[in-house]
Amino acid sequence: MHSTLTEHARCLYGDEFRPTPACGQEHHQNHFVEELTFAGADAILSMLRELCPNLADGRLPVWVRNLAYRLVLLQRPDEPALLREAARSLWLHGPDWDDIAAELTKRAEELEAR
C-alpha cells in the first residue's frame, strides 16, 4: 500500500525527476482515481508540485492534472493563487480549456479586488 497520494501517482505514472520505486504491487488506475477523489487539498497539491514542479513537465496525464486542480478548487474556491495556478495549467495543455482558464483568472482578480 502506498503511504501518500504522491507515491501512488509515482508508481502508476512514473516520475520525470526520480526513479519510480519498485513497490511490488499491481496498479489500477481506478484505485488511484478513487484515492484522488477523496484526498485533501494539501495531499493533491503536494502530488502536483512534486511530480510537476514546473507545471508543464511531469508524467501525470493531462486529465489527471485537470481533475486534481478541479478537486483542489472545490475544497479551496477562494484562493486566488490556486485559481491562477489551475488556469496556467489549463492554458498549457490545450486551447479546449482556454475559456475556463480565463474564467478562473477573472475569479482570482475579483477575489483580490475585494
What's the total number of domains in the chain?
1
Is 91 buried (19+), middle (13-18) or exposed (0-12) by CB count in 10 A?
middle
Cβ–Cβ < 8 Å for 114, 96: no
Q: What is the pTM of this model?
A: 0.92
Q: State the pLDDT at residue 57.
A: 86
Question: What's the average pLDDT block by block, 10 residues per block, for the chain (114 residues)?
Answer: 88 87 82 96 97 88 95 98 96 90 98 95
User: What is the sign of the dihedral through the CA atoms of 2, 25, 21 and 70?
Assistant: negative
Q: What is the extent of the structural domain holding 20?
A: 5-113
47-70 pLDDT, tens digit per residue, is 999 999 888 888 999 999 999 999
Max distance between CA atoms of the chain, in angstroms, equals: 51
pLDDT of residue 1: 66
Cell numbers of 93, please?
Answer: 495543455
Helices (H) and strands (E) in the chain, counts: 6, 0
Asked if residue 33 lies in contact with residue 70, where contact means CB atoms within 8 angstroms, the answer is: no
Evaluated on CA atoms 78, 79, 83, 84, the torsion sign reads positive
CB contact at 8 A, 56 and 35: no
**If you ran DSSP here, which 8-state letter would residue 2 be given?**
-
Supply the pLDDT for residue 4.
93
